[in-house]
Structure 1
Amino acid sequence: MLAGMDQSAHHRPAQGHAGLRRGRRSIAGHVYLVTFVTRDRRPLFSDPAMAHDMARAITDKRLWYRSRLMAWVLMPDHWHGLIELGAMETLPVCVQRLKANTSRSFRVGRQHDGVWAPGFHDRAMRSSDDLRAAARYVIANPLRAGLVDEIGKYPYWDAVWLGNGCLADRPER
């Protein structure tokens, strides 16, 4: 036992996702790199019709009335996004709203036992972090995964720096 360490039961770290969140704060105006996966890592979005529908749901303006989606990519079995947290919003609530509403929208007319796995991973971007570099990392996921040889060939991503709206709203290639 390390000196000065209290090993009593009430000081043990919490298990699961709640334990990861303990002591973390959501700060309005900060940007977070967020990742979450599909239930059982099923590649639901390998199907272009499902990916297109989910991309539309993810970018629904009604989900982003407090926080701002700065960059995102939908992969076959997971999602990455840069989220600027709005006033009076916590990151867990923002992600829960995103997952719940996209799941509800996605299930319409489909038989699925759930789209997203519980929990999410996040990393707070420091003020010195280059957000455009983080956005490049996010949207380059299809390249690194070998899904395409140039990002312009992958339709399920967007970034605010493009200034031309959601790629999910464009005709499929």
Structure 2
Amino acid sequence: MIGLSIARSIELLQKPSSHLLRRGRYSETGRAYLVTAVVYQRRPVFTHFYLGRLLVAELKQAHDLGLVESLAWVIMPDHFHWLFELQDASLPQVMQRVKSRSTLTINRACGTQGAFWQSGYHDRAARAEEDLIQIARYIIGNPLRAGLVEQVGDYPLWDATWL
């Protein structure tokens, strides 16, 4: 029933109580986390492939710097899901870095300024007994379930270590 718990986690994003998401947040090196961040006012900016690739560059840089071991991600039109194993940074540090750096690069590319992301993010620590491959499959299946493509391979903004 892994899909149900992930689906429930994602449902929580629809509620306007992001400040409550920080309550009880704990970072553990080596633990896998599924995080979701949403674009301010849910603007579908990542329908533009180039802007999605700017975000991907920030996810990749966090991996390349050893802050995380990136396992899977998908960039949806107005949000992203990212499964990673925490390495040499805390969860808030990783998310602050990715969100602030992507805000700067995307705003620069668009000639805009100001807020790009909604405040906060949703995170869920994977339990030791959970199958990370199943979580990754769930993540990359988002474009298919959203009706954006007929086959996962047709969607350009995703990656997974195992797939």
TM over 0.5: yes
Aligned to 1:104: 104
Aligned pair count reads: 146
SS in structure 2 of the partner of residue 137 of structure 1 = helix
Aligned to 1:54: 55
Structure 1 gap ranges (5+): 1-15, 163-173
Identity fraction in percent: 42
Aligned to 2:11: none
> Do the aligned partners of 1:72 and 1:139 also contact (CA within 8 Å) in 2?
yes
Q: What is the CA deviation profile of residues 151-172 of structure 1, one whole-angstrom value per residue up to 9, with x for unaligned ones?
A: 110010101124xxxxxxxxxx
Using CA pairs under 8 Å that are at least 6 residues apart, name the structure with larger relative contact order, 1 or 2.
2
Does 2:138 match 1:137?
yes
Structure 2 gap ranges (5+): 1-16
Q: What is the CA deviation profile of residues 13-63 of structure 1, one whole-angstrom value per residue up to 9, with x for unaligned ones?
A: xxx545432333111100011001001000001122322333233323576
User: Considering only aligned residues, what root-mean-square deviation do their CA atoms show, in Å?
Assistant: 1.9
> Do the aligned partners of 1:69 and 1:83 also contact (CA within 8 Å) in 2?
yes
Aligned to 1:156: 157
Aligned to 1:31: 32
Worse-superposed segment, 18-27 or 37-46: 18-27
> Do the aligned partners of 2:52 and 2:75 also contact (CA within 8 Å) in 1?
yes
Q: Cα–Cα, structure 1 residues 63 and 100, in superposed 2: closer, same or farther, change >3 Å?
A: farther
Taking the aligned partners of 2:145 and 2:101, their CA distance within structure 1 comes to: 29
Looking at CA atoms only, which structure, 1 or 2, has the larger radius of gyration? 1
Taking the aligned partners of 2:35 and 2:160, their CA distance within structure 1 comes to: 14
Aligned to 2:12: none
Q: Cα–Cα, structure 1 residues 20 and 109, in superposed 2: closer, same or farther, change >3 Å?
A: closer
Worse-superposed segment, 96-105 or 144-153: 96-105
The amino acid of 1:157's aligned partner reads W
Q: TM-score, normalised by structure 1?
A: 0.76
> Do the aligned partners of 1:63 and 1:98 also contact (CA within 8 Å) in 2?
no
